[in-house]
Amino acid sequence: MEPSYLVCLGASAGGLEALESFFASVPANTDAAFVIISHLSPDFKSLMPELLSRHTKMAVRTATDGMAPERNTISIIPPGKNMAYRSGRLRLESQDRTGAHVLQLPVDIFLRSVAEERPHRSVAVILSGTGSDGSRGIRVLKESGGMVLAQQPESARFDGMPRAAIDMGVVDASGTPPQLASFVLELIRTGVLREPAEDDDTDAMEVLPVLESLRTQLHQDVSYLRPRMLRRRTQRRMALLGIKTIAEYADRLMTDAAEARSLKQDTMIGVTSFFRDAEAFRFLQRHLSVSLARSGEPGPFRVWVPACSSGEEVFSLAILLHEHFSASDKYRDIKIFATDLDEDSLARASKATYPASCAEDIGLARAGKYFTSQGDKIVVRSFLREMVIFAQHNLVRDPPFTRIDLISCRNFLIYLTPESQVSVLASLHFALNQRGTLFLGSAESIGKLDDEFDTVDSRFKVYTKSKSATLPSMRLRSGLQDPGLLTGKPLVLSTRDRERDTTNRQVLEMMVEREARSVAILTPDGALSDIVSDAAEAFRVPRGRMTSDIARMLEEPLVVAVTTGLQRLRRGESDAQFVVEMDRGGRMSVRLTSVPAVGNSGDRVLLLIEPAGVSHVTTHEAPLTVSSESAERMNELQNELMQTRENLQSTIEELQSANEEQQSTNEELMASNEELQSTNEELQSVNEELFTVNVEYQNKIQELAVVAADLNNLLRNINVGILFLDADLRVRRFTPSIEQVVKLVDHDIGRSIEHFAHTLGPDFLSDVRRVLNYGEPIERDARSATGNWLLVRILPYLTQAGKPNGVVASFFDVTPIRNANEMTRVANDHLAFANEELASQRRELEEMFSIVANDLKRPVIALAGLLDVIRNDKAITGGAAREKAPTGEGRPTSLMERAQSECHRMRQMLLDLESLSGIQQRAVEFERVEAQVWLDDLVHRASEGIDTIRVHCTCDPGDCMIARSFLEEIFSNIFENALKYGCTSESPRIDVSGRIREQTFELSISDNGKGIAPEHQSKVFEPFRRLD
C-alpha cells in the first residue's frame, strides 16, 4: 500500500549519528515511508541497515531497483548508486565515477524526482554532512509544495549540508534530530501536507487576523497573496510551533517579531535556479537575437527582473545577453535591475556565490567562463556582476521602472490574487518600451491584458508590448520612480527634512501676506518642492513620466518667464518679475523671489503667478511673447536637457551604487576567501583523518566479520554442547549439541534457563550460581538421559575488560573416552601377559644359542689349529708340492690360505651368535677406512676363483666411518646368494657400488638374474626363508 507521506532524509559525513538519534524518536506506526539518501563509498559494504535497526522497530532495508517505499519502513540507498522516485517506485542508476572531479549529488537527484512526482505529501530533512548536496533539491521541492527541515548546524557533526540548506532560505524549521522527528510527526498528524484546493472566501476570512498582525508587527501588507496559499503557510508554522488555532497564532505574531519574520520569509517563495526550464531560455535567446537585430536602437539594453530571489535567474539572463552582444557587431551596454521585497534574498543575490552543484544547471563551459571556483562554491565573475544592480522593491505596491527592454517575471504571478495579478501586469506593461519583451513562468499568462501584448510563444510565455497607452490599473499607484531610488521602507523624516518643512512654513506666511493666486515653492535649479495653490490654473500635469521639473508643469508662455527669472536669481538678483502674453488671451504676472536658507535646508524660490490686472506689483518691462516656433524649440531643448540630466543623474547613481557594491563585495570576498582557505585546509585535514579512521574501521569490521563467521561456524559444527548465560541466567547463545542436555530453539534466546527442564539434576543450577557469584570454575561428571557420560565444565563469562558478566557451560560427551580407557586397560593386561611369554621364550633361545655356540666353538678352534699346523709344516707344504689356484686377476693364492680365511669367517659368525644370544653384549665398532681400497679388497676376496661371472666394482674416493665387520658379513651373504641364485643368464654379471654421503655409506649389490617376484618381495627378510 502506498504510504500517506514520504520522508526523505539526506545525510553525509556524521549522518549516521544524526539518523540514529532521529529514528530513536520516531514510533513504528507513523504510516509514512522513510527514504535515506546518504553518501556511501562504493568500495565498502554499507553497515547502515544493521546499525540503524538497533535504534528503531521499523523494518530497515537496502533499496533495490523497482522497489516501492512502504509504510513504516526505512529504505536506504545502496553504495555507488543514484536513486530517483518515479511512478511510485525507487529507481537506481550507477554513479558516474569516470572522472576524478565528478560531483556526486544523490540527495539533489532524489529530491528533484520527488518534487516532480508527489511534492505535497513529502518532507525533506537535511542532516549532518559536508558540501552542499541537497541545497538545490530542497528549493525545487519547496516550490512544488513540500516541506523542508534542516538540522541545526550547531548540533551537526559536520554543518556543511545543513548550513547550505539554511542559506538557501527555503527551510521551514531547523532543530536537533529529535526535534526534527517531532516536527515530522506533527506535520503528519495535522495533515498540513495535503494537496492545496482552490481559494474561497473562508480562507480569506481566516487569514485576516494574521494579515493584521503582520501589518502591525512588520509594517508590511501581504494581502496581495492568495488566501489559500497564505493559510497553508500559516498552518505549517502553527504545526511546527504546536499552536491549534489561527487566532492564537495571530496573538503570537503580535508579541513575537522573530516568528512574524519567519512567516513573512515563508510567504516569500524564493525558489529559482540557473536556466530554469532550459528550453524556454533557449527560445528567449533566439527571440532576442532576432528582435535585437531588427531594432538597432542605440544606448544600453535595460532589463528588469522583479522578484529576483537569490539571483540565479538574473545571472542566467546576464549570461545570455553577454553571449549575444559579444558575438554581435552592435554591442550595447547591459543594465539589469534586479529587485525583490525580501532583504535576505537580496543579500544572498548580491554576494553572487552559489553551491558548486549549480554548475550542472549552468553547463561546464559556461561555468568555467562566467564563474570562479572557491572550494565547494562558485562565484560570478566581476564583469558579469557589474551589469546588475540589486534594489529592494515591492512589485505590487511600489511604482515600476521605466524604459525597460526586457522584463523577466517568472513564477511570481501564480502566488497573487487575481486583482493583484492585473495590477502587476499593468505595471510591467507601463515599464516596457514599445516592442519590449515580457518573459513569464510556464504556469502564468497575461490574462485580461492580451490586447496589450503580442504573443511570441504561448508555450514558453514570451510576449511583446504592442500598445503604449497607460492602463487604468496604473492610476492606483502613488507615483513613478527611477531605478535605484526604491527602498520599500517606512518613511522617516530626517533632520534636514524637518528643517525644510520649517522653511516651507515661512514661505507660506509670505504667500498669505501677498495674497497670491498661484503659489509654488522651487529649488534654485527649478525643481518643484511644493504647490501651495493653483487658483490661476497655471500648472498642468505633464504626460508620460512624472517629474519635478517646473518647466514641464507650466504652459508654454510661462516657461520662458520662469526659466529667465531663475537664471537672474542664480546671478544674484533677489527678485524677478514679468508680464506674459498667454496663448488663450490675457496676461499673467510672474514673480520669482529668492528665500534665504534656514538651517541646513538650502535656499528656496517663491513663484507667484496671477492675472496681470490682479497683481500688486508693477513692471516696466514689455510683456513677453513667444512664437510657436520658438516655444516648440524651447520645449525640445528643455526635454533634451531634462533627459540629459536624468541620464547623467541615473549614471551617477548607478556608478555610485555599483562602486559601493563592488567595494563592499571585494571586502566580503577577501574575508570570505580567507575563511574559505582556512575552512578548506581544516576540511582537508578532517577528510584525511576521516578517511584514515574509516579505513581502520572498515578493516576492523572485516576482521570482526571474519571472526564472527568463524565463531558461528565453530558453534554450528562443533560436537560439544555449549551454553552462554547472562548475569540473570538468561540464554544468550548455544550450540546444537546442547539438545542432549536441554531442549532449546532460537526463539528461546533471552529466556531464563530456570524455566527449562534438563537432565543434570538440581546441582547444575547451584553450580552455575556459585560460579556467577564467586568466579571459580567448576568441573564434574554427569550422565545424560541417554546414559552417556558428560564432563560438565562451568566457567565465568568475561567481558573485554575482564569483568564477569554471566557464565559459559560446556558439556563434553566423554563416553567414548571412558570406553577407550576400559579397552586400553584390557589391552594393557593382554600385553603384559604377552610380554611375559616373550621374555620366557627369549630366555630359552638365549640358552639354546649359548649351547650351540659353545658346541661349534670347539671344532672350529681345533680346525683352525690344525690348519695352522699344516701351513707351517714345510714338509707338507713344500714349494714343489704347493697347489696353485688361478685368481680372477691372475694372482696365485694357496688353497690353504683360503681354508684359513673361511675358518676365520666361521669364527666371526660364532662371535656374532654369541652376541645375539646375549651371552656377550658386544658394542658395534666403527672404524675409518679408505672406501675404494676397502671395497676393492672385499670384492677381490669374495670373487676369488670365479671365472664365469663378470664382477664390476665402483666406489667414491675418500675416507668414511663404517661398521666394518657387520658390512663385510652382510656383503658376503648377499654376494654369495648372487653367485648361487642370481647369475642364471648367459652372460652373468654382478655390479657392486659404494657411495659416500654426508654421514652414511651406501653399499649396493645387483645382478642381472631373473629377480624376485613382486608377491614374494615382502618375505625377503624372513629368517631361514629361501625364495625360488
| H helices present in 943-989, as ranges | 964-977
Asked whether 532 and 511 are in contact (CB, 8 A), the reply is yes
What is the dihedral sign for C-alpha 37, 41, 45, 47? negative
593 and 618 share one domain: yes
Q: How far apart are CA 683 and CA 677, in angstroms?
A: 10
173 and 48 share one domain: yes
Question: Domain range spanning residue 594?
Answer: 495-626
Residue owning grid cell 516532480: 116
CB burial readout 533-544, b (16+ within 10 A) else e: beebebbeeeee
Whether residue 737 is contained in a domain is answered as yes
β-pair partners for 338 = 305, 390
User: Cell numbers at residue 203, please?
Assistant: 480562507
Asked whether 176 and 19 are in contact (CB, 8 A), the reply is no
377 and 466 share one domain: yes
Residue owning grid cell 537527484: 109
Q: Total structural domains in the chain? A: 6
β-pair partners for 388 = 336
Whether residue 393 is contained in a domain is answered as yes
Residue 404's Cβ-count burial label (10 Å; 0-12, 13-18, 19+) is buried
Whether residue 429 is contained in a domain is answered as yes
619 and 725 share one domain: no
- Decide which of 445, 476, 507 is a domain's last residue: 476
In the chain, the amino acid numbered 819 is N
Whether residue 283 is contained in a domain is answered as yes
Whether residue 860 is contained in a domain is answered as no
Indicate which CATH number applies to the domain containing 167. Answer: 3.40.50.180
287 and 394 share one domain: yes
Indicate which CATH number applies to the domain containing 455. Answer: 3.40.50.150
Q: How far apart are CA 6 and CA 27, in angstroms?
A: 15
Whether residue 620 is contained in a domain is answered as yes
Q: How far apart are CA 769 and CA 401, in angstroms?
A: 90
Q: How distant is the alpha carbon of residue 51 from its chain centre?
A: 17
What 757-766 contacts at long range (C-beta under 8 Å, 24+ apart), as own/partner pairs, is 759/783, 759/784, 759/785, 760/790, 760/792, 764/792, 764/809, 765/729
What 781-789 contacts at long range (C-beta under 8 Å, 24+ apart), as own/partner pairs, is 781/814, 783/759, 784/740, 784/741, 784/759, 784/813, 785/740, 785/759, 786/740, 788/740, 788/813, 788/815, 789/813, 789/814, 789/815, 789/818
Asked whether 416 and 427 are in contact (CB, 8 A), the reply is no
Q: How far apart are CA 513 and CA 510, in angstroms?
A: 5
CB burial readout 176-194, b (16+ within 10 A) else e: bbebbbbbbbebbebebbe
Whether residue 245 is contained in a domain is answered as yes
Whether residue 166 is contained in a domain is answered as yes
431 and 456 share one domain: yes
- Decide which of 159, 174, 195 is a domain's last residue: 195
Q: How far apart are CA 1027 and CA 802, in angstroms?
A: 73
Asked whether 216 and 210 are in contact (CB, 8 A), the reply is no
Q: How far apart are CA 813 and CA 998, in angstroms?
A: 51
Residue owning grid cell 574509516: 694
- Decide which of 145, 175, 195 is a domain's last residue: 195
Asked whether 238 and 183 are in contact (CB, 8 A), the reply is no
Question: 266, 265, 376, 359: which is closest to 319 by C-alpha?
Answer: 359
User: Cell numbers at residue 892, please?
Assistant: 696365485
26 and 110 share one domain: yes
User: Cell numbers at residue 169, please?
Assistant: 532560505
Q: Which helix (H) or strand (E) holds 997?
A: none
In the chain, the amino acid numbered 962 is I
Question: 571, 588, 575: which is closest to 626 by C-alpha?
Answer: 588
β-pair partners for 60 = 74
Q: How distant is the alpha carbon of residue 193 from its chain centre?
A: 28
53 and 97 share one domain: yes
Intervals of the chain under pLDDT 50: 100, 197, 199, 470, 472-500, 502, 505, 507, 509-514, 516, 615-618, 620, 685, 688, 692, 875, 879-892, 919-921, 1024
Q: What number of other Cβ atoms are within 10 A of residue 1022's Cβ?
A: 9
Q: Which helix (H) or strand (E) holds 407?
A: strand 404-409
432 and 456 share one domain: yes
Residue owning grid cell 557464565: 807
419 and 547 share one domain: no
| H helices present in 69-226, as ranges | 106-117, 135-144, 160-167, 177-190, 201-206, 208-218
Residues 6+ apart with CB under 8 A from 711: none
DSSP 282-311: HHHHHHHHHHHHHH---S-EEEEESS-TTS
190 and 214 share one domain: no
- pLDDT given at position 331: 77
Indicate which CATH number applies to the domain containing 594. Answer: 3.30.450.20
Indicate which CATH number applies to the domain containing 997. Answer: 3.30.565.10
Q: What number of other Cβ atoms are within 10 A of residue 939's Cβ?
A: 21
List Cα–Cα distances, 478 to 396, 475, 527, in angstroms.
Answer: 12, 8, 19
Asked whether 749 and 731 are in contact (CB, 8 A), the reply is yes
Q: How far apart are CA 174 and CA 389, in angstroms?
A: 32
Supply the Cα-derived Rg of the chain in whole angstroms: 58
Say if pTM beats, i.e. exceeds, 0.85: no
112 and 135 share one domain: yes
Question: 936, 958, 1013, 1006: which is closest to 978 by C-alpha?
Answer: 1006
Question: 625, 620, 595: which is closest to 608 by C-alpha?
Answer: 595
User: Cell numbers at residue 707, please?
Assistant: 571472526
